[in-house]
Amino acid sequence: MCPSPYGFVPNWAAGTARAAHFLGAVQHPLLRARLAGRIGRGMQDICGKTVIVLLSGGLDSMVCAGLASEAGARIVALTVDYNQRHRVELDSAARIAGHVGAAEHIILPLDLRRFGGSALTADIDVPKDGPLGEASDIPVTYVPARNLIFLSLTLGLAEARRAQDIVIGVNALDYSGYPDCRPEFISGFESLARLATRDGDRGVDFHIHAPLQHMTKADIAAEAARLGLDAGMSWSCYDPTPAGLHCGRCDSCRLRSKGFADAGLADPTRYD
């Protein structure tokens, strides 16, 4: 058993009381069954290791950080300040990093507004109130090659910190259709990491953990609750209001809201 460096024993190793209590409270039988099979699996192999967590400040990355902490990893969190429209998420990332006991939290400036090409990095309107999950084209909120750029940065940080494990909160089910969230991208980058680094040349295997890859937003909201994380710490909205609220109408807001509703959980998000 590997105790967490943050003063508690991970659920997967020690105790099922909190997990069992949580599962009993989940209202949807299919969701409860999926979570029961998932709790305690997949993150055990990072116990005691330094792990680079890509922490945007969103719900998904918060759950990833919580899973890494629960598994007993030493967390080095990387947040990229890419001059995004929703820069309020940087404050959320700082709160989350402190909550999970990150040993180090780096906020790295990288101004992708110089590139533009996205509603998040240019003067392009964020779409509102469109159909979820039905668009045939990649939406304008896609930031060109963002996850490829970010994973390259986490890889560089991993090599500098002598770490082999990277955790990223990509999701291929309830998402907006971004190509850099697909499983093929994650596995391809893991192969690339072995070819592009000094440590890879020496036989080190880098592992890209995407524990939310095949989870719905309902699963992710429920996992946040199971971990005892306050989802209100996280930020999802692409187009915050002047009052600092989630707009409630962009794809990200509506996917978030739907996830809590489908999980039968109260949504702590403050919407306009």
| Domain range for 257 | 11-263
Q: Does any domain span residue 42?
A: yes
Higher pLDDT, 38 or 149: 149
Is 55 a known ligand-binding residue?
yes
Q: What is the pLDDT of residues 165-210, one digit of tens each?
A: 999 999 988 666 788 999 999 999 999 999 999 999 999 999 999 9
Is 61 a known ligand-binding residue?
yes
CATH number at residue 18: 3.40.50.620
Average pLDDT score, the chain: 87
Q: Does any domain span residue 271?
A: no
Q: Does any domain span residue 6?
A: no
Q: What is the pLDDT of residues 229-267, one digit of tens each?
A: 999 999 999 999 999 999 999 999 999 999 999 999 999
Looking at the 3D structure of the chain, how many domains does it have?
A: 1
Vertex 235 angle, CA 112 and 85, to 5°? 30
Is 56 a known ligand-binding residue?
yes
Q: Does any domain span residue 44?
A: yes
Is 253 a known ligand-binding residue?
yes
pTM of the predicted protein model: 0.86
Q: Does any domain span residue 270?
A: no
Name residue 30's amino acid: L
Is 47 a known ligand-binding residue?
no
Q: Does any domain span residue 4?
A: no
Is 64 a known ligand-binding residue?
yes
Q: Does any domain span residue 156?
A: yes
Which residue from 93, 90, 89 is spatially nearest to 77, judged by alpha carbons?
93
Q: Does any domain span residue 134?
A: yes
How far is Cα 46 from Cα 58, in angstroms, rounded to an integer?
Answer: 22
Is 57 a known ligand-binding residue?
yes
How far is Cα 50 from Cα 64, in angstroms, rounded to an integer?
Answer: 14
Is residue 129 classed as helix, strand or coil in its secondary structure? coil
Is 247 a known ligand-binding residue?
yes
